[in-house]
Amino acid sequence: MAIQHATSEEGAIGTATDSRGRLVTSDGTPLRRALERANRRRKLTALALVGPLLAFILIFFAFPIAQMMWRSVDNPQIVNALPETLNALEEWDGQGIPDEPVFAALHADMVADLDRPRREQKIGPLGIRLNYEISAARSAISRTSRAVADFDAPYKEAFTDAHRLWGQPELWRIIKREGRPLTASYYVAALDREYDAEGNIVKRPENRQIYVSLFGRTLALSLAITFMTFVLGFPIAYYLSTLPMRYANLLMIAVLLPFWTSLLVRTSAWIVLLQQQGVINNALVGMGFIGDDGRFSLIYNQTGTIIAMTHILLPFMVLPLYSVMRTIPPSYMRAAKSLGARPWTAFRRVYFPQTLPGIGAGGVLVFIISIGYYITPALVGGQSGRMISNEIARHIQQSLNWGLAAALGSMLLVGVLILYWLFNRLVGTDSLKFG
> Are 246 and 375 in the same domain?
yes
> Are 105 and 48 in the same domain?
no
**178-212 tens-digit pLDDT:** 999 999 999 999 999 999 888 899 999 988 899 99
User: Could you say which DSSP state residue 425 is in?
Assistant: H
Which H or E run contains 194?
strand 193-195
pLDDT number for residue 254: 86
> Are 305 and 407 in the same domain?
yes
325 located within any domain:
yes
| Torsional sign, CA 76, 82, 88, 91 | negative
> Are 40 and 85 in the same domain?
no
pLDDT number for residue 5: 46
pLDDT number for residue 432: 61
* Non-local CB neighbours of 228 within 8 Å, separated by 6+ positions: 306, 310
Q: Share the mean pLDDT of the chain.
A: 89
In the listed set 13, 36, 63, which residue is the last one of a domain according to the structure? 63
| pLDDT value at 110 more than 80 | yes
Query: Rounded CA gap, 134 and 356, in Å?
Result: 52
Name the region of 288 (left: φ>0; alpha: ψ -120 to 50; beta: rest).
Answer: left
> Are 160 and 237 in the same domain?
no
Confidence of residue 433 (pLDDT cuts 50, 70, 90): low
| pLDDT value at 383 more than 90 | no
User: Could you say which DSSP state residue 182 is in?
Assistant: B
The answer to which of 302-316, 383-397, 412-426 has the lowest mean pLDDT is 412-426
Residue ranges in 82-152 assigned as alpha helix (H): 83-89, 100-114, 123-133, 137-147
> Are 233 and 104 in the same domain?
no
**18-68 tens-digit pLDDT:** 777 777 777 778 888 888 999 999 999 999 999 999 999 999 999 999 999
The pTM is what? 0.83
Q: Is 11 helix (H, G, I), strand (E, B) or coil?
A: coil
| pLDDT value at 365 more than 60 | yes
pLDDT number for residue 347: 92
| pLDDT value at 1 more than 70 | no
pLDDT number for residue 34: 87
> Are 333 and 416 in the same domain?
yes
Please state whether the peptide bond connecting residue 117 to the residue before it is cis, i.e. omega within 30 degrees of 0: no
Q: Whole domain around residue 254: which residue ranges?
A: 210-431
Domains contained in the chain, number = 3
> What is the CATH number for 407?
1.10.3720.10
* Average of per-residue pLDDT across 135-158: 91
pLDDT number for residue 435: 54
**369-378 tens-digit pLDDT:** 999 888 899 9
pLDDT number for residue 431: 62
